Amino acid sequence: MAETLTDRPATESESTEPPSSAALARGSLRRLLFDSLSPYRRSILIIVSLQLVGTMASLYLPSLNADIIDNGVIPTDTGYIVRVGAVMLAVSLLQIGTTIAAVRFAARTAMGAGRDIRAQVFARVNSFSAREMARFGAPSLITRNTNDVQQVQMLAMTALTMMITAPILGIGGIVMAVREDIGLSWLVAVVVPILVVAIGVLVSRMVPGYRLMQAKLDDINRILREQTSGIRVIRAFVREPFETERFERTNDELTDVSLSVGRWMAAMFPTMMLVVNVSSVAVLWYGGIRLDNGQMQIGSLTAYLTYLTQILFGVMMSTMTVIMAPRASVAAERIIEVLDTEPSVVPPTRGRTGDGSEVRFSSVGFSYAGATDPVLSDVDLVASPGQTTAIVGSTGAGKTTLINLIPRLFDATTGVVSVGGVDVAGYEPEALWSRIGLVPQRAFLFSGTVASNLRYGADDATEEDMWEALEIAQAAEFVAAMPGGLTAKISQGGTNVSGGQRQRLAIARAVIRRPDIYLFDDSFSALDVATDARVRAGLAPIVAEATVITVAQRVFTITDADQIIVLENGRIVGRGIHDQLVATCPTYREIVDSQLRAAA
């Protein structure tokens, strides 16, 4: 590409005066179309050439028709009619052929540009950290990479097939009309501006509506995604009426906005047809007067009427693109917003690797953008190989954030997180991730099979490796009972298995790669006490030499941890083993007492 999507410098006007939202949308659309169509310059040149030949052929046909009327039909010269008619037929075939070829090239170019934009958006989203994902939200990103790209793609298709033809047809039509009879040319000077102004007024009303439509479409996608992924919870708590009402309210809002935009769009074509029909009547009226006065011939009047129709048809073709432009502008603005968002977690230019698996936090703090209070403050701890470090605390204490800093799902705002003596910000990403086995708080499984999910942990895992990992995670029994065993189907998110089974499969996925560092983020919460004990017993010999950091809610499961870190409001308020903390840490003692009372 001649210019990347992220390296375009801001102009002076952009830096001194904030542009309006409509101007931003138009600028985003121009930029996106320029960048996405730049690799297809050759195809666009071919399209322009074909459109030029086809349009010139269509402009030549009315002159030939006028010639036949004036020099063949009126004098009753059959031979002349046949000769010129054959020329008309050849010109018509040329027009048809070039139009078909131009549309084919335009379709391939527009589809290719859409493919490239989707690939860029997908690649950018894959580089986002959890911070950017939380900022945009999954429903909005899905809409931007599907519906929004489709809007831009459709505009590109329309522009390549119509916007190139329209100016040629309009300008050429004016030239040919004046050539036929200059006395009626004042009609063109009056009709075309009226049509352009009317269309401009209507389009200006549609732009805000299209922007609101895309936002409402995001809301619809978000609600649908929540309802489909949480259908079991909705049914369990009999929340169907509430969710139905929530969806209907958002759906009605989208419908109202769509109807408002649709009304303005519906006025577009009647307005255009009114202008076309009135102008045709005017041509016949004043042309008839000139014909009666002997100032023009009947063939010229017929040709002039055709040329006026072609001129207005060129304006109508431009209007088709103009109608699509507002929504495509909004879509392009949303796409550019994704492409211009730089990930907060950036791979180092020259990545390093460490030899050990010691995890160290040195004066680490973390704050979300715009937050008034930090999530973590002055965290200092060391997790050594061969030891288990447990992290406990109330909800919102920062436990999960602390875990996520190690594999760089977030970057620490202050301080240093190091693995093997190397700052994770300077660690080679692939090398870092290959040393970590992460079982997230929400055990997510991908659509596919048991085997395909396990191979996310190790691409080259054999069946023996998979069964061994399942045995360690106490998942072999229920997997063997599933139809197909390792080839048993897993639905998106693992919704066709229970919460405890999902957690055990996620543990097996982490164990299968035999990493140096294990991160368990509340990974045993869905297991009953007996299963929890069996899983921990199975893990014990496997993680004996590794660094293990586990976030726990149930205190009794971590009483034998080598060190327990107690977090409160993002700060470490206790550090030690179980007995020490019961005696010295009020926060830890309160957690223990509350769980003992609940158990009683």
160 vs 206, higher pLDDT? 160
CB 390 within 8 A of CB 574: no
Closest CA to 581 of 593, 570, 569, 571: 593
Residue type, 289: I
Q: What pLDDT does 555 receive?
A: 83
CATH numbers and ranges of domains, the chain: 20-339 (1.20.1560.10), 354-435+515-600 (3.40.50.300), 444-513 (3.40.50.300)
Mean pLDDT of 545-566: 88
Closest CA to 131 of 335, 346, 334: 346
Long-range contacts of 133-138 (CB under 8 A, 24+ apart): 135/341, 135/369, 136/338, 136/341, 137/218, 137/222, 138/225
pLDDT at 600 over 60: no
Sign of the alpha-carbon torsion through 4, 6, 12, 18: positive
- Beta-bridge partner residues of 565: 391, 575
Q: How confident is the model at residue 3 (pLDDT cuts 50, 70, 90)?
A: very low
Which pair of structure tokens corresponds to residue 40? 């297809």
Average pLDDT along the chain = 83
Return the ∠ at Cα 207 (arms to 204 and 209), rounded to 5°. 120
Instruction: Find the helix or strand (DSSP H, E) in which 155 lies.
Output: helix 149-158
Instruction: Give the number of residues written for the chain.
Output: 600
CB 243 within 8 A of CB 251: no
Per-residue pLDDT tens over the stretch 459-480? 888 999 999 999 999 999 999 9
If you average pLDDT over each of 93-107, 275-289, 323-337, 487-501, which comes out highest? Answer: 93-107
Q: How confident is the model at residue 24 (pLDDT cuts 50, 70, 90)?
A: low
Q: Residues 6 or more apart from 155 whose CB is under 8 A from it? A: 29, 33, 321, 324, 325, 328
CB 523 within 8 A of CB 550: yes
pTM: 0.69
Place of tokens 């007024």: 201
Per-residue pLDDT tens over the stretch 529-549? 888 889 988 999 998 899 999
Residue type, 345: V
- What share of the chain has pLDDT > 90, as a percent? 26
Mean pLDDT of 192-210: 77
Q: How confident is the model at residue 25 (pLDDT cuts 50, 70, 90)?
A: low
SS (H, E, C) 413-461: CEEEEEECCEEHHHECHHHHHHCEEEECCCCCCCCEEHHHHHCCCCCCC
Place of tokens 């309009």: 170
pLDDT at 5 over 50: no
Residue 520 CB neighbour total at 10 angstroms: 27
Q: How confident is the model at residue 389 (pLDDT cuts 50, 70, 90)?
A: very high
Return the ∠ at Cα 362 (arms to 359 and 367), rounded to 5°. 105
Q: What separation in angstroms does the CA of 448 have from each of 252, 486, 494, 496, 568?
A: 36, 11, 9, 12, 40
CB 453 within 8 A of CB 508: no
Which pair of structure tokens corresponds to residue 387? 């030891």
Per-residue pLDDT tens over the stretch 357-375? 899 999 999 988 777 888 8
SS (H, E, C) 261-326: HHHHHHCHHHHHHHHHHHHHHHHHHHHHHHHHCCCCCHHHHHHHHHHHHHHHHHHHHHHHHHHHHH
C-alpha to C-alpha distance for 348 and 420, rounded to whole angstroms: 17
C-alpha to C-alpha distance for 95 and 102, rounded to whole angstroms: 10
CB 159 within 8 A of CB 321: yes
Strand order across the 414-419 sheet: 376-383, 359-366, 414-419, 422-423
Mean pLDDT of 450-454: 92
SS3 101: helix
C-alpha to C-alpha distance for 425 and 410, rounded to whole angstroms: 10
C-alpha to C-alpha distance for 568 and 460, rounded to whole angstroms: 42
CB 103 within 8 A of CB 321: no
Closest CA to 510 of 520, 500, 502, 501: 520
Q: What pLDDT does 295 receive?
A: 72
pLDDT at 48 over 80: yes
- Beta-bridge partner residues of 364: 379
Q: What pLDDT does 466 receive?
A: 92
C-alpha to C-alpha distance for 191 and 272, rounded to whole angstroms: 11
Q: How confident is the model at residue 300 (pLDDT cuts 50, 70, 90)?
A: confident
Long-range contacts of 189-195 (CB under 8 A, 24+ apart): 191/275, 191/278, 191/279, 191/282, 191/308, 191/312, 192/311, 192/312, 192/315, 194/275, 195/271, 195/272, 195/275, 195/312, 195/315
- DSSP code for 361: E
What is the distance, to the nearest Å, from the Cα of residue 151 to the centroid of all Cα atoms in its chain?
A: 12
Residue type, 113: A
What is the distance, to the nearest Å, from the Cα of residue 307 to the centroid of all Cα atoms in its chain?
A: 44
Mean pLDDT of 77-86: 84
Q: What pLDDT does 469 receive?
A: 92
CB 455 within 8 A of CB 461: yes
Q: What pLDDT does 317 receive?
A: 76
Q: Residues 6 or more apart from 123 whose CB is under 8 A from it? A: none
C-alpha to C-alpha distance for 23 and 3, rounded to whole angstroms: 20
List the alpha helices (DSSP H) in 69-77: none
Q: What pLDDT does 20 receive?
A: 53
Return the ∠ at Cα 325 (arms to 322 and 331), rounded to 5°. 170
Mean pLDDT of 119-140: 86
Mean pLDDT of 489-502: 86
